[in-house]
Amino acid sequence: MAITPGMTAGGKAAPSSAGLTKEERKVILASSLGTVFEWYDFYLYGSLAAIIAKQFFIGDPTTTFIFALMAFAAGFIVRPFGALVFGRLGDMIGRKYTFLITILIMGASTFLVGLLPSYASIGIAAPIILVSLRILQGLALGGEYGGAATYVAEHAPHGKRGYFTAYIQTTATLGLFLSLLVILGTRTAIGEEEFQAWGWRIPFLISVVLLGISVWIRLAMNESPAFAKMKAEGKTSKAPLTESFLKPKNAKIVLLALIGLTMGQAVVWYTGQFYALFFLTQTLKIDGPTANILIAIALALATPFFIVFGILSDKIGRKWIILGGCVIAAATYFPIFKAITHYGNPALERAIQTSPVVVVADPETCHFQVDPTGTTKFPSSCDIATRMLTAASVSYTIQDAPAGTVATIKVGDNTFQSFNAVMTPDNLNFDAASKAREDGLKKEVTASLKAAGYPAKADPAEINKPMLVLLLFILVLYVTMVYGPIAAMLVEMFPTRIRYTSMSLPYHIGNGWFGGMLPTISFALVAFKGDIYYGLWYPIIIALITVVIGGLFVRETKDNNIYAND
């Protein structure tokens, strides 16, 4: 067997070479570029969910948007299942061919979204096909990351696995960055009206070019040396799922990888990139293009630090860089997001401080409004009032009232009575009379809030863009700390014969479920407490759980021999 740059003749890790060889650069480029394109495809749907809602779903704008978000969430939900399916294939037939399959599925699914006729053209078949394509995207992504990370790590020289795999870690951020740029460029080139009508399809159709480039590059790649050696010796796993999750020794490591690493890493990642964007647009009411540009600049400035922390993890270890990022993030989220409010919408900050709002309600009618499916309604008078205020970015306190009291909203000297809504027969929405009452209440409350100084949207003249970029950069810097070393560490935790399967599942449960649920749970927390910052407790608590479990039970891995198969 030929000796690769990462192995000695005995299959052990070889000492680090001085620089990257041509083959090593090819491995990193091929794996990273393909994964960038996969994330680009995945994020397009989320970025264009509002437009997609109008094209493929029927109903009022709120209902159609909810269904579009449900389809988006489907991609996150199925990611762990993709990890199981493709992880098993990767451990049985090889890394190269498995994540060649995943990119074909992802690219084809994305391209077909760009061609899919609207609901007006083919009726109910349109949303059914759309959701099916979205599920295929999620399955493909579930198999892609583990394959790319494993492939690169198994090519890396000893002492450089953090550095090599850090390039894979840049791909999610670069994919998001690329999708934002293509959408912004298309919008600018053809105009907003044309983009809404048909131009939104262009970013999806462009993916076929990216797919062609990725497939061409990946076809020229060789199998990873660790897997090739194991296959030549006849030591590949015949049942990687059983070995990974039913054998106590490995199942324990999988559980620790989830709770002690990826769970905390995921919420820091989603807070720094997705929740920050959500906070800018939904809470602070900064217009979408401005918010996207601010996030894009922060991403561009912070992306090199994935490599920095990957290299640093090769020198001092991975564990405490990841856990340190979780600790620092948890300790600073509240002051950072309050500063984002101060520099992004100072009028809102002033209104919160000078014009407090009170909801007077029976506490038994105030619920924790978590709705992961997008179909649950909360018709009590308290829930209607708190949800309305939360959507308007209003901080409020809840004052207990006697049992059976219909909730009221106090804005200064004005008091507005809420109501208990009546549901439609299918129990999916408020009936027509209740919706009309909700609209009327919203109009009255909105007028009173405006008079009290609560802005309907952020004033562009008051937005301090340099300071916002700095604060967003800090949030993404935390992302690079927790995410830069994670691939190398997950690879090093598991033996070669079941590595693809074992590392993929905790990664995608952590990121797909704990991370993907962050906006929903954070919104519910804000509505429950009445504080626009209260949603930050979700990532803070999850990150701190990871710090405790990871600090006590997860071992450092940087010196592990990844060619061992015990």
In the numeric block, the tokens 């860089």 are attached to 321
Encoded amino acid at 399, one letter = Q
Distance, CA of 196 to CA of 203 (rounded, Å): 13
In the numeric block, the tokens 């990957």 are attached to 310
Residues 6 or more apart in contact with residue 50 via CB below 8 angstroms: 65, 68
Nearest to 151 by CA among 168, 137, 139, 138: 168
Distance, CA of 346 to CA of 260 (rounded, Å): 38
Q: What is the pLDDT of residue 226?
A: 64
Using CA of residue 78, residue 79, residue 80, residue 83, what is the dihedral sign?
Answer: positive
Is 214:33 a contact under the CB 8 Å cutoff? yes
Q: What is the pLDDT of residue 492?
A: 92
Tens-place pLDDT, residues 478-497? 999 999 999 999 989 988 77
Q: Where do the domains of the chain lie, and which CATH numbers do they carry?
A: 22-343+461-553 (1.20.1250.20), 356-451 (3.40.30)
Distance, CA of 334 to CA of 342 (rounded, Å): 12
Encoded amino acid at 343, one letter = Y
**Beta bridge partner(s), residue 396:** 357
In the numeric block, the tokens 């999988």 are attached to 254
pLDDT digits (tens), the chain, 566 positions:
333 444 433 344 444 444 567 767 777 777 777 778 767 876 787 678 778 878 887 765 555 655 666 676 677 788 888 888 887 787 777 777 787 888 888 888 889 989 999 888 888 888 889 888 888 888 888 877 777 788 888 888 888 899 988 988 888 788 888 888 898 889 889 988 899 889 999 999 988 888 888 788 777 777 666 666 766 766 666 777 777 777 888 889 999 999 999 999 999 998 998 889 889 988 899 987 888 889 889 988 999 999 999 999 999 999 999 999 999 999 999 999 999 999 999 999 999 888 889 999 999 998 887 655 455 678 999 999 988 888 788 889 999 999 999 999 999 889 999 999 998 887 767 888 998 999 999 999 999 999 999 998 999 999 999 999 999 999 999 999 999 999 999 989 988 778 878 888 898 888 888 887 787 788 778 878 889 999 999 999 999 999 999 999 999 999 887 765 54
Distance, CA of 565 to CA of 230 (rounded, Å): 8
Distance, CA of 16 to CA of 162 (rounded, Å): 12
**Beta bridge partner(s), residue 95:** none
Is 45:113 a contact under the CB 8 Å cutoff? yes
Distance, CA of 468 to CA of 488 (rounded, Å): 32
Say whether 369 sits in a helix, a strand or coil: coil
